[in-house]
Structure 1
Amino acid sequence: MSDVILETRQLTKEFKGFTAVSKVDLKVQRGSIHALIGPNGAGKTTCFNLLTKFLEPTSGSIVFNGVDITGERPAQIARRGIIRSFQISAVFPHLSVLENVRLGLQRALGTCYHFWKSEKSLAPLHGRAMELLAEVGLAELAHEQTVNLPYGRKRALEIATTLAMEPELMLLDEPTQGMGHEDVHRVAQLIKRVSAGRTILMVEHNMSVVSTIADTITVLQRGAVLAEGPYGEVSKNPQVMEAYMGTTEGQLQGAH
């Protein structure tokens, strides 16, 4: 099997008179952390919405594991193993930390909608849920109500629930957005840790995160690919520096 897990070919999304994503060719290598970066309005989130079929592309194609999935629905794409987290924390606040992860695991039991079943039917999931919580550093908070978690820990829980869905490809949409420095560092290290044996495609604004953990970076500007490569190469690209001028040029150069 090819080392490319996900490929887009000339992927384009037009809204009335406006091209949000323009002829994007993207190749994500299996087992890598691939970051999608760019100034505000560059088309990063639209790209994610196309990959998960929240939006239909105007033209172009999406290939996952060698299969063209352009015509598939969001649920089919999730079943293939492309699992996405969102910019806004999407956990159930009034369930415990453990219960949140267990919900993600329920799909494999086929009891997602069996609301009348005894909670005992979920007991087989307990061990795996605790393993996932240990993986993201939340095992000691398993029985805490989620609403009580600090923001950074909620994002860690979201990564655990995403892992519970057994993703082959994890799409992380701005995983460190709105975090303080300490939480950013913790979540970046967590992403690096859980990436072992998995593939991650992430949209991220924080250049220190991108420079630390991403293997490959694709820079979008006005919906098109401006540059691609490892951080050291992309950060020295004059076009990229110009695109970030006045906002993150300093970050691009000083992120190490």
Structure 2
Amino acid sequence: MTDAILQARGLSKTFAGFSAVSNIDLDVERGSIHALIGPNGAGKTTVFNLLTRFITPSAGSIVYDGTDITRAKPTDIANRGMVRSFQISAIFPHLSVLDNVRVALQRHLGLSYHFWRSNKVLDSTNERAMALLKEVGLAEFAGTTAVELAYGRKRALEIATTLALDPKLMLLDEPTQGMSAEDVGKVTALIRQVAADRTILMVEHNLKVVSTLADKITVLNRGEILAEGPYAQVSKDPAVMEAYMGSAEVAHG
């Protein structure tokens, strides 16, 4: 028996007769880092969109933390603690780093859109906001305007704003995309750190990152599950090697 925080059964999505995702069964175990990988067009982002209800499944069911969320609204899912971080950095570029986290905390505390509230009320979030910035290594940049951050630090800020929503399950969409090797290393370490008491489901193209972080990997190809298991197992799977057009890419990322 496994303790799955997220389960999908028979998850499918058809667009105008085209099957983008077909009959996906997925178990994300509580406290684990689970990676979705696959070549371009494999259906990874579609699966993410289905799980977070940004698109509606054509068939199948989704259960999160014991509750059927197949027909739930994305906001309701987020309020239950299943929070998605987007592939394109979703921060307010012209607010300070601290204010970005304060805005996220206001939303979590039910103060959303109350920008007219007194500074005294909003300052109540400062201690928690600074603690989150310290957790992701951005405390010294609290007063910096977000647009001025280096790319890797912007992604760290995005993780901080996600953490502000107090997630039980974080869904990370290509968290290291477009990063330098140095930034990839920093964000990989950050993901490992924040996963200490949370569950993470991530779509990631960088197989070195996946091999370093993931407890379990689900390989998608053409909208179906091709293989599943730990990295050492799936990286040697002949079908996975073929899907990636060469074993070197799988074995070494």
Quote the residue 1:198 is aligned against. Answer: 198
Q: SS in structure 2 opposite 1:200?
A: strand
Give the drift of 1:123: 1.3
Quote the residue 1:61 is aligned against. Answer: 61
Quote the residue 1:223 is aligned against. Answer: 223
Quote the residue 2:251 is aligned against. Answer: 253
Aligned AA (1:79): N
Q: SS in structure 2 opposite 1:183?
A: helix
The C-alpha deviation readout for 1:205-242, integer Å capped at 9, x for no partner, is 00010000110000000000000000000101111011
Inter-partner Cα distance in structure 2 for 1:120 and 1:250: 57
Question: CA contact under 8 A between 1:208 and 1:251: conserved in structure 2?
Answer: no
Equivalent residue runs for 1:125-164 within 5 Å: 125-164=125-164
Inter-partner Cα distance in structure 2 for 1:208 and 1:2: 27
Inter-partner Cα distance in structure 2 for 1:115 and 1:67: 33
Equivalent residue runs for 1:27-176 within 5 Å: 27-176=27-176
Give the drift of 1:66: 1.5
Aligned AA (1:15): F
The C-alpha deviation readout for 1:86-111, integer Å capped at 9, x for no partner, is 11111100000010011111124322
Give the drift of 1:114: 1.7
Give the drift of 1:122: 1.2
TM-score (norm 2): 0.97
The C-alpha deviation readout for 1:34-91, integer Å capped at 9, x for no partner, is 0000000000000010111110000000001121110111111111111001111111
Give the drift of 1:2: 6.2
Give the drift of 1:120: 1.8
Question: CA contact under 8 A between 2:108 and 2:164: conserved in structure 1?
Answer: no
Query: Please, what is the CA RMSD of the aligned residues?
Result: 1.2
| Structure 2, unaligned runs of 5 or more | none
Inter-partner Cα distance in structure 2 for 1:206 and 1:108: 32
Aligned AA (2:41): G
Inter-partner Cα distance in structure 2 for 1:209 and 1:109: 34
Question: 1:37–1:167: structure 2 CA closer, same or farther, 3 Å change rule?
Answer: same
Inter-partner Cα distance in structure 2 for 1:92 and 1:119: 19
Query: Given the alignment of the two structures, is residue 184 of structure 1 paired with residue 184 of structure 2, yes or no?
Result: yes
Inter-partner Cα distance in structure 1 for 2:34 and 2:104: 24
Question: 1:194–1:117: structure 2 CA closer, same or farther, 3 Å change rule?
Answer: same
- The size of the alignment, in residue pairs, is 253
Inter-partner Cα distance in structure 2 for 1:21 and 1:132: 36
Percent identity reads: 66
Question: CA contact under 8 A between 1:13 and 1:57: conserved in structure 2?
Answer: yes
Question: CA contact under 8 A between 2:20 and 2:46: conserved in structure 1?
Answer: yes
Q: SS in structure 2 opposite 1:195?
A: helix
| Structure 1, unaligned runs of 5 or more | none
Quote the residue 1:208 is aligned against. Answer: 208
